[in-house]
Chain A
Amino acid sequence: MAVLEIRDLHVSVETDQGTRQILKGVDLTIRSGETHAIMGPNGSGKSTLAYTIAGHPRYTVDSGSITLDGADVLEMSVDERAKAGLFLAMQYPVEIPGVTVSNFLRTAKTAIDGTSPALRQWVGDVKTAMTNLKMDSSFTERNVNEGFSGGEKKRHEILQLELLKPQIAVLDETDSGLDVDALKIVSEGVNRAKENTGLGVLLITHYTRILRYIKPDFVHVFVAGKVAEQGGPELADRLEAEGYDRYVEANA
């Protein structure tokens, strides 16, 4: 049973125009087995929240805290956070030329577990996970994200989620750019991970359509760097009907 707690989080970035505050007091608590949807307009700071949880060096935490089961996440390096059980499925996964998917997955698994996986078992696990995500087996010999279509990149992120078995996953617009078939496949992957490992999910999205396949327990409306309203799944239906205008205007 894991708990990720974010308290009064303020985050800024350095830009050419000087320091810019993006997160302005975020409070969130995510427990194992829970799915939290974070919905908000473009530019509201959703990816900033995701990157800050993962420890991207570009973002400066000015105040507030992030803890995982009481341990100070902000004190951890990026790889320590992953080893502690945090996972970020990125909105824009990065290409790594010359590094094959197979090599990458094995290296990551070894790092997370602290010991290299038993070969036969591992090869079988990778194969099964790829079949479930309808990924061709030739995929493992391609270089990480190089020349992948948008849909392939997102499947590859979910493949890692299923193989690395984190406790809490942040999915940053995993639905964007996916056609309905790919959206279903990716959603099924997330649901499998929830079922198999009791994964806690922070599902960042701009649209409600992924929520048809991954059912949120809580919905948080994110506007101008903080949570403007929260509720249950019904809040998503309301956003579907009304959009974000109400919040954006209230904020302006």
Chain B
Amino acid sequence: MSSATTAPATAGANKNMHGATSIVPVQTRNERLASFDVADFAAVTGREVDWKLTPISAISDLLDSSIDGSQLPLDISITGSASVTWVSMNDAAVGSVGTPEDRASAIAWSSTQDALLIDVHADDVSEVSVSRSGLGAAPRAAHTVIRVAPFAKTTVVLTSEGEAALSENVEIIAGDSSHVTVISLQEWSSTARHLASHFIRTEKNATVTHTVVSLSGALVRVNPQTRLAGEGSSVNMLGLYFADSGEHLEQQVFVHHEAAQTKSRVNYKGALQGTGARTVWIGDVLIGPHAVGTDSYEQNRNLVLTEGTRADSIPNLEIKTGDIAGAGHASATGRFDDEQLFYLQARGIDEATARQLVVRGFLNEIVQQITVTSIAERIEAALDRELEGIA
């Protein structure tokens, strides 16, 4: 187990617990290269700031050159009047939010033939669920655009299971005063590999809840970033992950406060169990020069259940304006607390049940915020299965 924490600039609450704290110079986050052209990105060596904690040898086929970008087999359900269609990658909706920031994302972008466009019209209330399964072991690329018009309210759920070697981009546009909930649930087979970049942009007064749940897969890396572009907009970025032996679950989260009076909350919680279970969380928050009145807090907490695991947790906060309402971060990676176990056992609860209670309790803070009942139940069931193995 290791834990690294960096804190270049902080204001307001700032708490670091456990693990060594070291100051690492951070490149200003929005100066990172962004391009649609694969050739602009050098071959990945594994030394890059955004790849150095990823086992790149396991995904060399997704980092090299063009991959299969044909339409994915999808199971789609819609309530409300949202439309879900395949559109050309030249469609105006594509590229309106995101620009690739790493080679995998650029390869996926240029390889994809058609994008899935989920269009939610103004004032509409809708729910869309897109499930992907049986994608096969060969590399594939995908692109999804979730475009939510002003004053609409929508929940979009992306679920993934089975075999896959998927590299994808997801763009999310939250129009004026819209309420958008996006959940990406990864429950892949134990050999699956998945790279995803999510690009979110909030317009004026929009509210977005974005949740990444990674429960299984050999290598799952979901990097969501939010540009709070409209004044008064807010984002709640949540994550839950449970890494077993041999699994690498990674998330690099970025929040860019561009406009004034914007609010962000980032809360990722993970558990690790079994030899070689590996998680990475990097959380960058950038408060731009115009983002006066910003209110920002990010945290990551990891619960280590067994020996032989490693959790990296790296929060970064950059502030370019003096006039903010609050900004802080917390990062903690801790062992299972034996005192909690003792307390429960002293009330007659056997060790296995006590461990389950503590782990589920730890992750509950995130599960409680998942408003889609079927997804919350799926997570509960998966946790039950994971936790049967311990004690």
Question: Which of the residues A78, A93, A98 comes within 8 Å of B365, measured between beta carbons?
Answer: A98
* Range class of the A interface residue count: 20 to 34
Q: Which of B338, B346, B348, B349 has the most CB of A within 10 A?
A: B348
Q: Which residues of B contact A (CB under 8 A)?
A: 337-340, 342-351, 353-354, 357-358, 360-365
A99-B361 CB under 8 A given contacts A56-B342, A94-B339, A94-B342: yes
Separation of A87 and B348 alpha carbons in the complex (Å): 9
| CB-CB contacts below 8 Å: A75-93 with B | 77-79, 81-83, 87-88, 90, 93
Whether the Cβ atoms of B357 and A77 lie closer than 8 Å is no
Whether the Cβ atoms of A98 and B342 lie closer than 8 Å is no
Question: Which of the residues B343, B349, B351, B353 comes within 8 Å of A94, measured between beta carbons?
Answer: B343
Whether the Cβ atoms of B360 and A107 lie closer than 8 Å is no
A54 within 8 A of B: yes
Separation of A100 and B364 alpha carbons in the complex (Å): 10
B239 to chain A, nearest CB (A): 16
Question: Which of the residues A78, A83, A95, A160 comes within 8 Å of B342, measured between beta carbons?
Answer: A78
A117 to chain B, nearest CB (A): 13
A96-B343 CB under 8 A given contacts A111-B350, A143-B361: yes
Whether the Cβ atoms of B349 and A97 lie closer than 8 Å is no
Q: Which residues of A contact B (CB under 8 A)?
A: 54-57, 77-79, 81-83, 87-88, 90, 93-99, 103-104, 107-108, 111-112, 143, 160, 164
Closest Cβ neighbor of A145 among chain B residues: B343
23 inter-chain pairs at a CB distance below 8 angstroms, sorted by A residue, are A54-B346, A55-B345, A77-B351, A78-B346, A79-B348, A82-B345, A82-B348, A87-B346, A90-B346, A94-B339, A96-B340, A96-B358, A97-B365, A98-B365, A99-B361, A99-B364, A104-B347, A104-B357, A107-B349, A108-B348, A111-B349, A112-B347, A164-B348
B387 to chain A, nearest CB (A): 14
Whether the Cβ atoms of B348 and A94 lie closer than 8 Å is no
Whether the Cβ atoms of A108 and B349 lie closer than 8 Å is yes
Residues of A within 8 Å of B337, CB to CB, are: 94
Whether the Cβ atoms of B361 and A97 lie closer than 8 Å is yes
Top-4 shortest CB links A-B: A98-B361, A98-B364, A82-B348, A78-B345
Question: Which of the residues B339, B348, B363 comes within 8 Å of A83, measured between beta carbons?
Answer: B348
A231 to chain B, nearest CB (A): 31
Closest Cβ neighbor of A166 among chain B residues: B348
Whether the Cβ atoms of A98 and B363 lie closer than 8 Å is yes
A108-B347 CB under 8 A given contacts A96-B357, A98-B364: yes
Whether the Cβ atoms of B364 and A96 lie closer than 8 Å is no
